[in-house]
Structure 1
Amino acid sequence: MGKLGYRVLLIVSFGCLHQTTDAIHMEKLANRKMCVDRYCSYVISVAKVLEDYIASDCRFINLKKGKMIYVYSKLKPVEGTGLFWLGSVYGDHYVDQMGIIGYFPSNHVNETHIFEKKTIEMPTAVSFLFFNSP
């Protein structure tokens, strides 16, 4: 196979592997948040899920009644919006979701243990891009 053959094979290979992706810009849920540290890497509290919640988009996590959630940050709501917290699911039932961090409505949980009462307030820095592949 000559140079031309390799070029054609290369072009066909890239054409077969190519996928288009759309990005959807999502507005920030809040302008400020409360965390234990500036990276929001320490747990503020543990909360028990009061009722099931199905995530509406990629920013959120699913909640199952009775499960425990580690809370890493609490958003300060903008007028007219709900109060959301950032956390991850803890429990044997959601092994596939353990370690996944996302937002959830705070009215679906009850804090059972507060690890750190002293928090710092800071601006939220990132709005979201949701990548949607066909």
Structure 2
Amino acid sequence: MPHLGLVTVVVRDYDEAIAFYVDAVGFELLEDTHVGDGKRWVVVAPRGAREAAVLLARATVSEQEARVGDQTGGRVGWFLNTDAFDRDYERMRAAGVAFEEAPRREPYGTVAVFRDLYGNRWDLIQLDRTDTPGAAGGGSC
């Protein structure tokens, strides 16, 4: 397989999710296409990303609504890699992103857990080793 294309984050509202991921996290909006019946195809990604992106999918049934903010049972579900941890950590904090902890050093790099606007847990992580995708099994998983 050449690469992972999209991962889905179930959201309550397209516009509030776009605002959070673009304005607070710093992603770019790659696509926002109306597909009928109030549905949209909304894709965001870290600026400059060439592969995986995030599909923001609005919950439309009660089972999906129940998963908003807890898609991974409370575990960290997404890992946002950076090459400048301090810069991105400070920018995100200033934009109102809620970090659960101060940055910490681990054998694999620097990491801090943050929550998206719904409560899903993410790692902001700068890996010390860049030769292995997902290096050292790291993160807060």
What TM-score do you get using the length of structure 2 for normalisation? 0.22
Name which structure has the greater RCO, CA cutoff 8 Å, separation 6+. Answer: 1
Q: Which structure would you say has the larger Rg?
A: 1
Structure with bigger helix share is 2
For normalisation by structure 1, the TM-score amounts to 0.23
